[in-house]
Amino acid sequence: MAELTMAKALNLALHEAMAEDPTVLLLGQDVGQDEGVFRISEGLLKKFGADRVIDFPVAESAIAGVSVGMCLTGFKPIAEMQFSGFGYHAFHQVENHISRFRNRTRGRFTCPMVIRMPYGAGIRAIEHHSESREAIWAHLPGLKVVVPSGPRNARALLRASIFDPDPVMFYEPKACYRAFKEEVPDEPETMEIGKAQVVRTGSDVTIISYGASMRPVLEAADDLSLEHQVEADVIDLLSLSPMDTETIIASVKKTGRVVVVHEAPRTCGPAGEIIARIVEKALDFLEAPIARVTGYDLVMPYFNLERHYMPDPLKVVTAVRDVVSY
């Protein structure tokens, strides 16, 4: 198996899917000649041509709207938005068309498309270039929201998203694009959308997270074990909609204590939904109030304050120690 960054793993998934299925297309700003702002579409224009790798102007609504038409004529478009913070220009198309076509046509038509959006902080960009607003999209019925955390699951989940019969919002943590490498199988690999992974086992506390926040969570789990003799069950959600409630509840019944970690703002963030499900299905198993480590209810600050905004291992360790000692 080759060791790849997430950027290279996503690029591999695109190469594989487009080679396998001639109806798979890529469209977006600078995806062709410039090979994507983060070089995720490197080599695709040269290999598949301008009919399948289509450069667009700065027009997110048009990228999404044209993708709807492509879906209805038999194609599987992959729409790239350069930064998630500019994806709101496409909200009308996503909310009023993409997410509704299956229901609107009583199953006669759907939109088998992927909208790729780089999200989150950690690269010293500003405002719209570093936002984490996945809760907005997860709130839309009919739209799946997938958030990979590493090279291997990014490649496998992007492949699953491309060949899913319904629309998928694929939220890519750009802080992870080139931060580390993982072994990625030589053969194409697919993971089930909506299935979380228990990436570390323990019996003292459950830590639930996803995307870029998985790195500080795993670092905190190591520290908790070595320095504080606290063993954490760590869950990587991988998908916010659908959400794997079964895996969450099984872990909570084992540990009785929970910390939820994400970069998105706290109010109405994914942690609120996760905690609600735990309260509904496992309240009697809780030994302490559930804690949240999240971003703040602020516009993303300029880069000199970025690290203060984001969850870090110390914040996670502090929250876990509070929950465990309750």
Give the DSSP H/E element, type plus range, for residue 296: none
- List of long-range contacts for 100-109, beta carbons under 8 Å, 24+ apart: 100/142, 101/68, 101/71, 101/72, 101/142, 102/142, 102/166, 103/141, 103/142, 109/71, 109/72
Q: Is-catalytic flag, 129?
A: yes
Separation of alpha carbons 72 and 170, rounded Å: 20
Q: Of 92, 129, 139, 308, which is the active-site residue?
A: 129
Cα distance between residue 132 and residue 298, in whole Å: 11
Check if the beta carbon of residue 319 is closer than 8 Å to that of residue 259. Answer: yes
**Residues 6 or more apart whose Cβ sits within 8 Å of residue 80:** 26, 27, 28, 29, 31, 36, 40, 41, 63, 116
CA 268 to each of CA 17, 65, 164, 323: distance values in angstroms, whole numbers, following the listed order: 35, 28, 28, 22
Tokens representing 85 are: 């913070």
Alpha-carbon gap, residue 259 to 208, rounded angstroms: 6
Q: CA 234 to CA 293: how far, in whole Å?
A: 14
C-alpha torsion 70→78→80→144, nearest 10: 100
Q: How many residues does the chain have?
A: 326
Instruction: List residues with catalytic annotation.
Output: 129
